[in-house]
Amino acid sequence: MYREKLDPGLIKDIENITKIGAIPSILNVICRTTGMKFSAIARVTDEKWITCVSQDEINFGLKTGDELVLETTICNEIRQHNKPVIIENVSQNEQFCNHHTPAQYGFQSYISFPIFRKDGRFFGTLCAIDPEPAKLENQETKELFELYTQLISFHLDAVEELEELSSSLKEERHIAELRETFIAILGHDLRNPVGTTRMCADILLKIDLPELAKRQARTIKATSYRMQGLIDNLLDFANGHLGDGIRLELSNNNKALKKILLQVVSEIRTVDPNHQLEVKIELKDDVECDHNRIGQLFSNLLGNAIKHGDPNKLIQTEVLSENGQFRLMVLNSGDKIPEDKMISLFKPFFSSNSENNKSGLGLGLYISSEIAKAHGGNMKVKSLDNKIKFTFNMPTKTVSNNVNHQ
């Protein structure tokens, strides 16, 4: 096998030629147009002449990877002077009638055009031979060979560029998978210490301590809620990009849904006890959903409202289920969101670059949007002059493939 005796660079050059789907047609057209019965593309260096691809109708015997002694070929001369060679009839050609190459290989007609890479480097030749004379000294044949050598050069560059892009893409994917796996592992490992921190804060709040100490315990507890929210969002993002997606545990239990929503409000008030929250929950229709995921979505929207909204203005929330539709709305006061930022709000790692957002990961709204999609619903945002409204809508009966029914 030629792969055992050639260096990797030459092997790669040959394989790149064989990847060009048009090559067999090019060689066939050359044979049919010129009447010659052997055509080939040769890789020619200062040491070797190697067959890349050939069409052989005279049993010349050269297949992909086969070599000729470089010094016995006219292509070696073409490599030196970079000009094509055309011989219609060796016996009548003053320059080549006594040349050693036609005598050694037994051909009477010969044509070979150099192939140059885009950067000007000599690659090899597109050539044809035949034991009989052939009519080659005409403009059509010359233009045909010029066109095909340029086409081969173009395709060689395209093949190499595609391979480089593919290699880079594989490397980027590998790095991304490692990064997201690390995020997932880190998120799981952080859950236990965060839970322990919250539990310790709860114990401290039950003990008769000075007010200053209790304030610190409440701060620790509030911080643990925020950390838990960040971890949950990180895990959801990592799982989604690793192929697991947002998985749902569906059930019809409005009582449990309302309990979780009120628990979220309680946690948010723990994090920011001074912010006014108005909560309206009316669940007239049964809602089939993942209660914990809806609670996570609600928590993200409320956390976003507190972070970016006016701290002195009321945050209004409304949760309704009626006429086959479930709607969850969060309205807060704040600066108008620019149009160029509106289209990116639900993208991962998006940051508004505001002073209030320096500690955020930019995943909350993205995860909320993914939860909405998993339930067959959608997230919408409206920004007026001094009001920002996020709305989640979904059918009361969820249609999703990525679910487990309880």
| HEC secondary structure over 319-365 | EEEECCEEEEEEEEECCCCCHHHHCCCCCCCCCCCCHHHCCCCCCHH
Q: DSSP string covering 1-28, please? A: -GGGTS-HHHHHHHHHHHT-TTHHHHHH
The highest-confidence range among 135-139, 166-170, 230-234, by mean pLDDT, is: 135-139
The highest-confidence range among 240-254, 332-346, 353-367, by mean pLDDT, is: 332-346
Asked which of 82-86, 306-310, 318-322, 327-331 is least confident by mean pLDDT, the reply is 306-310
Owning domain of residue 355: 247-405
Q: Calculate the CA dihedral of residues 216, 218, 219, 224 and round it to 10 degrees.
A: 130
Is 375 inside a domain boundary?
yes
What is residue 248's predicted lDDT score, i.e. its pLDDT?
A: 84
CATH number at residue 72: 3.30.450.40
Is 162 inside a domain boundary?
no
What is residue 218's predicted lDDT score, i.e. its pLDDT?
A: 81
78: Cβ contacts below 8 Å, ≥ 6 apart: 44, 84, 85, 112, 114, 125
Q: Is the pLDDT of residue 113 over 70?
A: yes
Domain-terminating residue out of 214, 245, 276: 245
Domain shared by 218 and 302, yes or no = no
What is residue 283's predicted lDDT score, i.e. its pLDDT?
A: 95
What is the rounded distance in angstroms from the CA atom of residue 125 to the CA atom of residue 112?
6
User: Could you tell me the pLDDT band of residue 406, with boundaries at 50, 70 and 90?
Assistant: low
Domain shared by 272 and 377, yes or no = yes
**Three-state DSSP state, 128:** strand
What is residue 340's predicted lDDT score, i.e. its pLDDT?
A: 79
Is 365 inside a domain boundary?
yes
One-letter amino acid for residue 21 of the chain: G
**CB count in 10 Å sphere of residue 359:** 8
Domain shared by 126 and 31, yes or no = yes
The one-character DSSP state at 240 is H
User: Could you tell me the pLDDT band of residue 227, with boundaries at 50, 70 and 90?
Assistant: confident
CATH number at residue 295: 3.30.565.10
Spatial CA neighbour of 262 closest among 311, 298, 224: 298
Number of domains making up the chain: 3
Domain-terminating residue out of 87, 119, 137: 137
What is residue 359's predicted lDDT score, i.e. its pLDDT?
A: 46
Q: Is the pLDDT of residue 140 over 90?
A: yes
| pLDDT tens per residue across span 184-214 | 666 666 777 787 888 888 888 889 889 888 8
Domain shared by 188 and 96, yes or no = no
Domain shared by 236 and 286, yes or no = no
- Output the pTM of the full model: 0.50
Domain shared by 188 and 111, yes or no = no
Domain shared by 251 and 391, yes or no = yes
What is residue 14's predicted lDDT score, i.e. its pLDDT?
A: 93
Q: What integer best gives the mean pLDDT of the chain?
A: 86
User: Could you tell me the pLDDT band of residue 332, with boundaries at 50, 70 and 90?
Assistant: very high
Q: Is the pLDDT of residue 325 over 90?
A: yes
Domain shared by 276 and 321, yes or no = yes
**Three-state DSSP state, 402:** coil
Is 83 inside a domain boundary?
yes
13: Cβ contacts below 8 Å, ≥ 6 apart: 43, 52, 123
User: Could you tell me the pLDDT band of residue 37, with boundaries at 50, 70 and 90?
Assistant: very high
Q: Give the full edge-to-edge strand order of the sheet including 49-56.
A: 67-68, 49-56, 38-44, 122-130, 109-116, 85-87
Asked which of 58-62, 104-108, 308-312, 324-328 is least confident by mean pLDDT, the reply is 308-312
The neighbouring-strand residues paired with 251 are 289
Domain shared by 363 and 252, yes or no = yes
Exposure of 12 in the CB half-sphere (CA atoms within 13 A)? 9
Percent of the chain with pLDDT over 90: 53
Is 148 inside a domain boundary?
no
